[in-house]
């Protein structure tokens, strides 16, 4: 399929665990181009099942989904479907998450608060072989590079540890985190201990305070503005 044809007709997979967000994305994308078809997945596991059964031109993944995060899903897709371009759509505007997403193989990264303005253009660019990042986030990333920004403390954490930290900062209890991530409470406690060791923060209060200073703990479940 040539580039012009790809721009006119796209099979798009959208994975987000919130039905209202998926519906907003579907309306936004399908109204932008009459020949765009959006298929919805409510989890990373459902997305993988759909990928096994259907061909898609581009995938749009939420970063936070229960059981399998967007980064975990992205890692699997890069191995099993290396030609599929993936756009990450999230509430998280932190440079740390964006950098990890691109390192994992994402071709685009935009935030839900700008999706109504940027999503259609981002999908077109990524599907055509380009790379897209939200303008405000791109500005901050460039400024960091120009200032010779060193790796921050969050870079010491694995993707799973970062997810657990974010949930702790948001006020979730270990039992809630275990249920959301399909982990045992013992595993969550082990992650918490490793996070504290890596960041040299002896108490949960110190951990939460650090996370708030880093901008963690935002709600990823907000509906799209204008969607």
Residues 91 and 27 in one domain: yes
- 39 vs 137: CA distance, rounded Å: 28
- 210 vs 147: CA distance, rounded Å: 23
Instruction: Tell me if the pTM is above 0.85.
Output: no
- 95 vs 162: CA distance, rounded Å: 13
- Whether the predicted pLDDT of 160 surpasses 70: yes
- pLDDT one-digit tens code per residue, 195-222: 999 888 888 888 888 888 776 765 443 4
pLDDT, position 195: 92
Residues 137 and 184 in one domain: no
Number of domains in the chain: 2
Domain containing residue 75: CATH number:
3.40.50.2300
- 171 vs 120: CA distance, rounded Å: 34
Residues 43 and 124 in one domain: yes
- Whether the predicted pLDDT of 100 surpasses 50: yes
pLDDT-derived band at 190 (thresholds 50, 70, 90) equals very high
Tell me which residue range forms the domain holding 182.
Answer: 153-213
pLDDT-derived band at 23 (thresholds 50, 70, 90) equals very high
Mean pLDDT of 108-114: 87
Higher pLDDT pick, 99 / 123: 123
pLDDT-derived band at 103 (thresholds 50, 70, 90) equals confident
Tokens coding 209: 């305070």
pLDDT, position 96: 75
């Amino acid at each position: 399929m040539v580039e012009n044809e790809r721009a006119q007709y796209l099979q798009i997979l959208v994975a987000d665990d919130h039905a209202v967000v998926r519906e907003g994305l579907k309306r936004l994308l399908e109204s932008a181009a009459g020949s765009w078809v959006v298929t919805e997945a409510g989890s990373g596991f459902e997305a993988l099942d759909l990928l096994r059964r259907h061909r898609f031109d581009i995938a749009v993944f939420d970063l936070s989904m229960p059981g399998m995060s967007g980064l975990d899903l992205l890692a699997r897709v890069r191995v099993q479907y290396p030609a599929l371009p993936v756009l990450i759509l999230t509430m998280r505007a932190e440079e740390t998450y964006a950098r990890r997403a691109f390192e994992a193989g994402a071709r685009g990264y935009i935030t839900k608060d700008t999706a109504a303005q940027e999503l259609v253009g981002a999908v077109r660019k990524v599907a055509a072989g380009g790379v897209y990042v939200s303008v405000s986030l791109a500005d901050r990333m460039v400024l960091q590079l120009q200032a010779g920004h060193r790796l921050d403390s969050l870079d010491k954490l694995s993707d799973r540890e970062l997810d657990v930290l974010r949930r702790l900062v948001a006020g979730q209890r270990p039992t809630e985190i275990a249920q959301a991530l399909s982990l045992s409470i013992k595993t969550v406690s082990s992650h918490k201990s490793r996070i504290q060791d890596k960041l040299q923060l002896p108490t949960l209060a110190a951990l939460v305070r650090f996370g708030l200073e880093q901008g963690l703990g935002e709600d990823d479940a907000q509906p799209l503005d204008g969607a």
